[in-house]
Amino acid sequence: MIWWLENPARARSERQSVADLAEHVSWLRGVRWYLSDGAAFAVDFEIEHDGDSIPLTMTYAEFHPNAPPIVVPRDGSRLSSHQYGAGGNLCLEYRADNWETTVTGAMMIESARRLIAGERDADGPELPSAHAVSLGQSVRGSYFRFLLTLPIEERLKALEPGQSIEISIAEKYHAETFTVTIGEIDGVADARAWPAGIRETTKRGHAIRLPQGTAMPAAAQESIANLLGDLGLAPLREQALATGEMDVVLVSETEIAHFYAYDGSQKRYFGRSRILKVTAGSRLPEDYAVLLGKSVGIVGCGSLGSKVAAMLARAGVRKFTLVDDDVMFAENLVRNELGAVAAGVHKVDAVRARLIEIAGTIDVTARRVALGGQESADSTDSVMSALRACDVIIDATADAHCFNFCAAVAKESLKPFVWGEVFAGGIGGLVARVRSGHEPEPQTARNQINAWCNAHGVPAPLAGLAAPYAAPAEIGGPLVADDAEVSVIAGHLTRLATDVLTRPEDTAFPMPAYAIGLRRAWIFSQPFETWPIELAGSNSWKVEQDPASVAESLALLRELMPTAFDGHDQSSK
């Protein structure tokens, strides 16, 4: 887009405003308009101040008037401390963070003149800095970063002047950035700024409290070696002068610094990391704290299940049982939580690695078993026993046969059961939750949901299709669910799971099941339309045995284990 061709009136207005300014002030001279490289609208001008003539250029942005122009010294000089380096643009009163389309080029020139006059008038007030630099902006050029938590900072500041202690340094390399933290100090482990269990390397280092008045050294071998020698730390001085890696954390009255050394390209390099202070605090609801002690069983680690597992790990769950026999392939990348590095790996193993990447140390039992598939009876029984020990069971397979096994475990153990599926073509999905004593047992609930769907006179797009994410379109190829559509249903399924774990006897959801529309199809008249589904029945899923049934059970047990009783189960006379 060439803005001045599409909006010539604004271009003429800009020229006129500058011409009017030049007519009314004596300090603006040499105004010359032209098109710079790339057909950018630009103007050269000179500002007169105390006999000096300062040549400047203002170039209008490609998206003007919705973005500010830039003003730079035409000779490439460093004109001001309010400037982005030598030859860079001046930081004026009108910038990207406060820009309005009503600001004109003449106003920019006046702002440049105020900046120059303010900095060159020795008797005038110091110009306030308007630079509000974000953390991200401040570390853009720093690829060695030291993460400092408040507990570590307090411990370092408590060192006695001149004291040196050995520490453990934890380091990781990710996204072309080295991040370092203290993993252990004074024998206290897990003081690091990221969760324990994250892939890292550890090494030994030293923390030293500088005596009062001692300045921080430069990040150079000689400066650091001389400081260590002056402090009487001869072994560390020799280490600084030798080869190999070295890490030293220095603590002064006003700052904390991390210095590192390493060998490379026939030269020893010394550097100083950028300190990033890590703030404490949780971004989760207070009632999510109970999730730390909860166990979640997820059957199915495909598109839906992998996302639910990751969401629950971020919510605070630290114990999982994952069940799936499938293998990850590149074709699964379009909808799965996993990345390309997991291609060829069993999904349960790859999801386990993903959860560790998210949360660090985490207890994950991965079972490469197809529950309800052609597995040995021992494997099936073992998986069902593992699920029975979980606090909630989640079926993310959209497979009716697998549902039966999960439902049987939930009913026998009286554990909450949550399930969901994405409708064919990504038109929407279904999520449901049942609890003993609150909703009907799982099979009854599923039958009621199927009946609710069929009552609308249109077959429900439920599980059972050969291609569960695809549905025929009226014109052209099939409709296929994309990652965003699967993620929406996964999010709602996760909400039901966290709700049942944090509110076992209460709920934030007035209905136990919901059909969620994402496209105009089936019963959905528009996207994001939600249909609550009421389920009848709230009795306990287990029926108390009557006396006759108990007697029959004892009789069977005596037949199977005759030597175990020795008549002790007989009634006394």
SS (H, E, C) 310-368: HHHHHHCCCEEEEECCCECCHHHHHCCCCCHHHCCCEHHHHHHHHHHHHHCCCEEEEEC
Quote the pLDDT of residue 477. Answer: 62
Mean local confidence (pLDDT), 292-321: 97
| Dihedral sign, Cα of residue 71, residue 76, residue 79, residue 84 | positive
Measure the CA–CA gap between 105 and 88, rounded to whole angstroms.
Answer: 18
Quote the pLDDT of residue 387. Answer: 97
End-to-end CA gap in the chain: 103
Burial of 88 (0-12, 13-18, 19+ CB in 10 A): middle
pLDDT for residue 544 is more than 70:
no
Quote the pLDDT of residue 137. Answer: 81
> Do 297 and 418 touch, CB atoms closer than 8 A?
no
Measure the CA–CA gap between 451 and 446, rounded to whole angstroms.
Answer: 9
- Nearest CA-CA partner of 210 in 191, 193, 232, 188: 232
The b-or-e profile of 105-143 (16+ CB within 10 A means b, else e) is: bbbbbbbbbebbeebeeeeeeeeeeeeeeeeeeeeeebe
Burial of 286 (0-12, 13-18, 19+ CB in 10 A): exposed
Residue 539: pLDDT band (50, 70, 90) is confident
Q: How many CA atoms lie within 13 A of 217 on its CB side?
A: 24
The pair of structure tokens assigned to 88 is 């860079």
Residue 301: pLDDT band (50, 70, 90) is very high
pLDDT in tens, 85-109: 888 999 898 988 899 999 999 999 9
pLDDT above 70 covers what percent of the chain? 89
User: Phi and psi of 518, rounded to 5°?
Assistant: -120, -15
Residue 54: pLDDT band (50, 70, 90) is very high
Q: Which amino acid is at 194?
A: W
Mean local confidence (pLDDT), 262-266: 86
Beta bridge pairs of residue 431: 420, 514
Largest CA distance in the chain: 126
- Nearest CA-CA partner of 500 in 404, 390, 399, 369: 390
The pair of structure tokens assigned to 52 is 């000096």
Residue 565: pLDDT band (50, 70, 90) is low
Quote the pLDDT of residue 502. Answer: 97
pLDDT in tens, 174-221: 999 999 999 998 877 777 899 989 999 999 999 999 999 999 999 999
Measure the CA–CA gap between 77 and 74, rounded to whole angstroms.
Answer: 8
- pTM (two decimals): 0.82
Location of structure tokens 């284990």:
561
Location of structure tokens 């020139």:
109
Mean local confidence (pLDDT), 305-321: 98
Burial of 17 (0-12, 13-18, 19+ CB in 10 A): middle
Location of structure tokens 């009876």:
377
DSSP code, position 103: -
Measure the CA–CA gap between 415 and 407, rounded to whole angstroms.
Answer: 10
Residue 14: its H or E element: helix 8-24
Quote the pLDDT of residue 310. Answer: 98
The pair of structure tokens assigned to 547 is 């006396």
pLDDT above 90 covers what percent of the chain? 73
Quote the pLDDT of residue 559. Answer: 66
